[in-house]
Structure 1
Amino acid sequence: MEESSEQESPAARDPRPLGRQILALAVPALGALVAEPLFLLADTAIIGRLGVQELAGAALGITVMHTVTGLMIFLAYSTTPAVARLLGAGRLSRALAAGRDGLWLAVMLGAVLGFAGLAFGEELLLAMGSSGEMQVHAWNYLLFSLPGVPAILLVFAAVGMLRGLQDTKTPLIVAAVGFGANIVLNLILVHPVGMGTAGAALGTSIAQWGMALTYLVMLVPRMRAAGVPLGVDPIALRQAASVGSWMMLRTVSLRAAIVATVLIATDLGPHTLAAHQVAFTIFSTLAFVLDALAIAAQALIGKELGASRVLQAREMTRTMTRWGLGFGVVTGAVIALAAPFVPSLFTPDERVAAGITAALLVMALAQPIAGFVFVLDGVLMGAGDVRYLAVVGLVNLVVYLPLLWWISRAGFTGTEAILWLWAGFAVVFMGARAVTLGVRARGERWMIAGEHR
């Protein structure tokens, strides 16, 4: 009887004001978002006391891990809307089954990536420029990180599942405990035990598995109680992989734009590259705030469309878009005010400092565009409009890459070079994303109601 009632009745509408609903999801999500960068930062800080070769080697290993895990973030972003839509439709057991499919996909991809790392990791590090003692430390770090890859992917999928269930507090708590355990383990394994870079990687792998098992202990009983089989459903798994592949393509296009920008910055000279690195670090840090809003949008829009509350989903979209623009204005004002003073925290070089200030001023002007983009990206993810996101991601890249090529050939130097580079990234590339997302959001084709998209 409970299953029949669940299938017939959409989830009740949340009586709280929309602003409180957004903040209830976005604030804890912000804390959980910074967990993975903090894992890598902790490794870097602890290894840094070992020596230059150890730090350089670990930096290469961390770069590989960060790239791989960054591409796999689609496990969270594709699981959230699938679970939220079914939850909104009143199909709790099917929502939990969608989460189960995400967990199995994470395990399988994690195993494949782990074995691929064993087979090709050393050659990849050599191709990246490691050699001698640095190569030894880089391979030690990567080798002892590989057992943690399935756990990292499991955490992504579990976090996506909980977000879909409208719970962002649990991931925050698990991330905080995991980060604390990571620091303690790394300190012990690197220094008293004397494992060096391998110890830092092993400590992180253990902490990641602790987080993954914690999520499984929480989620498996819920699935059993709802009568959800725990085994693999091949058909459902293929569907999850199909959605995930579109999400991964979207992520690849974004990464390609970021990497291309770094390559052009490198071509424009060391001062431009240094200024760009600092500016992009600040941009990425502020992006956590906007991404937290995007996560709230995924969970809320997916639930409302699943419950066939199309008008509420439209109103949520308007509200969250205003919030994104508002946050963009606020963060832009803060960046503009701080632009003359921030460079001194990062460099004594006057040319690099001037470049950082110039980049930050362009960034400040473009922050409302970034806020608009992040929120609408989350809205369309929540609606399950992943194919459109993947296709327009490639379109945006096609718009952006010729501009980058022109900037690299125009002979810009000094402050002028970084101004053009950031005008290209923050205004043209983000602007192209704003146009393609905005046009889609104004229409109705993405607003498919009910449990299936």
Structure 2
Amino acid sequence: MAQDTTRSGSLRQVTGLALPALAVLAAEPLYVLVDTAVVGHLGVVPLAALAVAGTVLAQLSTTLTFFSYGTTARAARLHGANRRADAVVEGVQASWLALAAGLLLIIVGQVFAGPIVRLLSGSGAVADAAVGWLRIALLGTPFILLTMAGNGWMRGVQDTARPLRYVLAGNGISAVLCPVLVYGADLGLTGSAIANVAAQVIAAGMFVRALVSERVPLRPVPALIRAQLGIGRDLMLRTLAFQVCYISATAVAAHTSAATVGAHQVVLQLWVFVALLLDAVAIAAQSLVGAALGAGEGAEARELAYRLTRYGLVFGVLCAIVFTLLAPVLPAVFTSDPAVLAEIPHAWWFFVALQPIGGVVFALDGVLLGAGDAGFMRNSTLVAAGFGFLPVVWTTNAFGWGLAGIWLALTAFLLVRLAAVLIRLRGGRWAVVGAVRA
């Protein structure tokens, strides 16, 4: 049986797992900022092209995060059962699946890059430049997915330090390479795309080397790949529900006024930032709860769940206090436009009030992901989107409720999810023990 220290769930241990995970989560957005700053000096067309093509690549990556989260859930159980080699084998299977999916996406992406970009931006110089960037950047897709798979199995065995080093090495080298290629080699926007692929190749290579060094069988196991595809399907549908909600919110805001969509963008990005912090806590919850269930300790897993929920609630309350205090000054950091500043309060107080709710929901997302309860998470998110968010947001569009209506829809979405995860937590059916969830 694994030692208790691997699953204690103390604040120190959660922080020790969450902080490196947070740095990994933040590394890609920070690299994108560097890339944007470099390309921004080329002119408005390259910058707009990067925005369009980068959005397509980011949405693709977001949709496929199951390579990380699904692998963590399965590997953590095996780690808790003192079956580290089998946990690493889950990483092997995820890597084979990532490689196959990445190669398929390269082929499909080369064919559809043009139509997708032109659907978003129309035709013209921006679209042409965006297509060129995207076709090069898509060559890094297998390496993006290999990095996700590597993060997944390492988090499952409670190793968040090495993924941090690997991701920082890849993005750090690429951040230096980007201006060299863009300006020094005079490649322009093409240099940005090449640097992006270089970052993915470097990080993925380190994860593959770590996998090989574990000295486990490296052959594909079809049964394990099928099991990973099952949890991947559920998590991908859940992610698509999130994307439909956020895209709908932006669409309704855009049809209201320029000031409305600007204010929505400011508050939504702050919400995404807080969600990033809480996602790191959820990753720690995945690892700890999965290990407890894998060791056959259902009671301990339930105690961990309640403890992590309390952590999430406290963190959410603290965030609400901070953003309440910052309300008079923080919006002006993002914009000086009087119309946008006048609109922001219509969303701001929803955003503040949602912090404690989000703290609980995101913590329990991590618990249920660690338990491998992907089917429930898929269904509850689809219900929250279909019966909570979408009716309110399109009613807002019809009756002109503006930004307050959009954030009322987001509130309804989160409240339905809160009710669902709390009911699931109390019912206890998620706490299925064993090295593999039946």
Match runs of 1:412-427 below 5 Å = 412=401, 417-425=402-410, 427=411
Query: Is 1:334 matched up with 2:319?
Result: no
Query: Which residue of structure 1 aligns with residue 63 of structure 2?
Result: 71
Opposite residue 415 of structure 2, the aligned amino acid is G
Query: Is 1:374 matched up with 2:362?
Result: yes
**What is the CA deviation profile of residues 83-129 of structure 1, one whole-angstrom value per residue up to 9, with x for unaligned ones?**
00011112122111111111111111111111111111112111212
Does the CA contact (< 8 Å) of 1:343 and 1:357 recur in 2? no
Query: Which residue of structure 2 aligns with residue 316 of structure 1?
Result: 304
Query: Which residue of structure 1 aligns with residue 233 of structure 2?
Result: 245
Opposite residue 294 of structure 1, the aligned amino acid is A
Q: Determine helix, strand or coil for the equivalent of 2:21.
A: helix
Query: Which residue of structure 1 aligns with residue 117 of structure 2?
Result: 125
Opposite residue 47 of structure 2, the aligned amino acid is L
CA 1:398–1:210: 2 relative to 1, 3 Å: same
Opposite residue 307 of structure 2, the aligned amino acid is T
Query: Which residue of structure 2 aligns with residue 440 of structure 1?
Result: 424
Correspondence for 1:260 among 220, 227, 248: 248
Opposite residue 218 of structure 2, the aligned amino acid is L
Opposite residue 248 of structure 1, the aligned amino acid is M
Q: Give structure 1 regions of 4+ aligned residues with deviation exceeding 4 angstroms.
A: none
**What is the CA deviation profile of residues 414-437 of structure 1, one whole-angstrom value per residue up to 9, with x for unaligned ones?**
xxx222221221x21111111111
> For the residues of structure 2 that align with 1:451 and 1:389, how far apart are their CA atoms?
20
Does the CA contact (< 8 Å) of 1:18 and 1:316 recur in 2? no
Query: Which residue of structure 1 aligns with residue 137 of structure 2?
Result: 145
> For the residues of structure 1 that align with 2:338 and 2:66, how far apart are their CA atoms?
40
Query: Which residue of structure 2 aligns with residue 403 of structure 1?
Result: 392
Deviation of 1:203 after TM superposition, in Å, equals: 0.4
Q: Give me the TM-score of the superposition, normalised by structure 2.
A: 0.97
Match runs of 1:42-53 below 5 Å = 42-53=34-45
Does the CA contact (< 8 Å) of 1:110 and 1:149 recur in 2? yes
Does the CA contact (< 8 Å) of 1:403 and 1:424 recur in 2? yes
Query: Is 1:451 matched up with 2:435?
Result: yes
> For the residues of structure 1 that align with 2:342 and 2:154, how far apart are their CA atoms?
44
> For the residues of structure 2 that align with 1:445 and 1:74, how far apart are their CA atoms?
22
**What is the CA deviation profile of residues 119-153 of structure 1, one whole-angstrom value per residue up to 9, with x for unaligned ones?**
11112111212422212210121011011111011
Correspondence for 1:295 among 269, 275, 283: 283
Query: Is 1:428 matched up with 2:412?
Result: yes
> For the residues of structure 2 that align with 1:358 and 1:341, how far apart are their CA atoms?
16
Opposite residue 206 of structure 1, the aligned amino acid is A
> For the residues of structure 1 that align with 2:206 and 2:127, how far apart are their CA atoms?
34
Does the CA contact (< 8 Å) of 2:9 and 2:288 recur in 1? no
Deviation of 1:345 after TM superposition, in Å, equals: 1.5
**What is the CA deviation profile of residues 378-406 of structure 1, one whole-angstrom value per residue up to 9, with x for unaligned ones?**
10000000011111111111112111111
Deviates more, 1:313-322 or 1:229-238: 229-238
Query: Which residue of structure 2 aligns with residue 157 of structure 1?
Result: 149
Does the CA contact (< 8 Å) of 2:241 and 2:381 recur in 1? yes
Opposite residue 255 of structure 2, the aligned amino acid is D
Query: Which residue of structure 2 aligns with residue 384 of structure 1?
Result: 372
> For the residues of structure 2 that align with 1:322 and 1:397, how far apart are their CA atoms?
26
Does the CA contact (< 8 Å) of 1:130 and 1:138 recur in 2? no
Query: Which residue of structure 1 aligns with residue 167 of structure 2?
Result: 175
> For the residues of structure 2 that align with 1:219 and 1:334, how far apart are their CA atoms?
42
Does the CA contact (< 8 Å) of 1:250 and 1:393 recur in 2? yes
> For the residues of structure 2 that align with 1:442 and 1:45, how far apart are their CA atoms?
48
Does the CA contact (< 8 Å) of 2:178 and 2:195 recur in 1? yes
Query: Is 1:214 matched up with 2:190?
Result: no
> For the residues of structure 2 that align with 1:409 and 1:238, how far apart are their CA atoms?
44
Does the CA contact (< 8 Å) of 2:9 and 2:308 recur in 1? no
Query: Is 1:115 matched up with 2:107?
Result: yes
Deviation of 1:17 after TM superposition, in Å, equals: 6.5
Q: Give me the TM-score of the superposition, normalised by structure 1.
A: 0.94
Correspondence for 2:338 among 344, 350, 353: 350
**What is the CA deviation profile of residues 350-382 of structure 1, one whole-angstrom value per residue up to 9, with x for unaligned ones?**
221022233222211110001011000110000
Deviation of 1:39 after TM superposition, in Å, equals: 2.5
> For the residues of structure 2 that align with 1:340 and 1:351, how far apart are their CA atoms?
16
> For the residues of structure 2 that align with 1:177 and 1:86, how far apart are their CA atoms?
29
Q: How many residues are aligned here?
A: 435
CA 1:411–1:33: 2 relative to 1, 3 Å: same
Q: Determine helix, strand or coil for the equivalent of 1:191.
A: helix
Does the CA contact (< 8 Å) of 2:392 and 2:406 recur in 1? no
Match runs of 1:86-125 below 5 Å = 86-125=78-117
Opposite residue 4 of structure 2, the aligned amino acid is R
Correspondence for 1:197 among 186, 189, 192: 189
Query: Is 1:277 matched up with 2:268?
Result: no
Does the CA contact (< 8 Å) of 1:84 and 1:303 recur in 2? yes
Correspondence for 2:128 among 116, 128, 136: 136
Q: Determine helix, strand or coil for the equivalent of 1:131.
A: coil
> For the residues of structure 2 that align with 1:189 and 1:24, how far apart are their CA atoms?
37
Taking only aligned residues, the RMSD between alpha carbons, in angstroms, comes to 1.3
Does the CA contact (< 8 Å) of 2:73 and 2:372 recur in 1? yes
Opposite residue 394 of structure 2, the aligned amino acid is W
> For the residues of structure 2 that align with 1:136 and 1:340, how far apart are their CA atoms?
42
Deviation of 1:179 after TM superposition, in Å, equals: 2.1
Opposite residue 431 of structure 1, the aligned amino acid is L
Does the CA contact (< 8 Å) of 2:73 and 2:370 recur in 1? yes
> For the residues of structure 1 that align with 2:376 and 2:302, how far apart are their CA atoms?
18
**What is the CA deviation profile of residues 207-262 of structure 1, one whole-angstrom value per residue up to 9, with x for unaligned ones?**
1110000111112110x2xxx32121122111111111111111111111111111
Does the CA contact (< 8 Å) of 2:170 and 2:201 recur in 1? no
**What is the CA deviation profile of residues 258-294 of structure 1, one whole-angstrom value per residue up to 9, with x for unaligned ones?**
1111111112211110000011111111111111110
Opposite residue 170 of structure 2, the aligned amino acid is G
Identity of aligned residues (%): 37
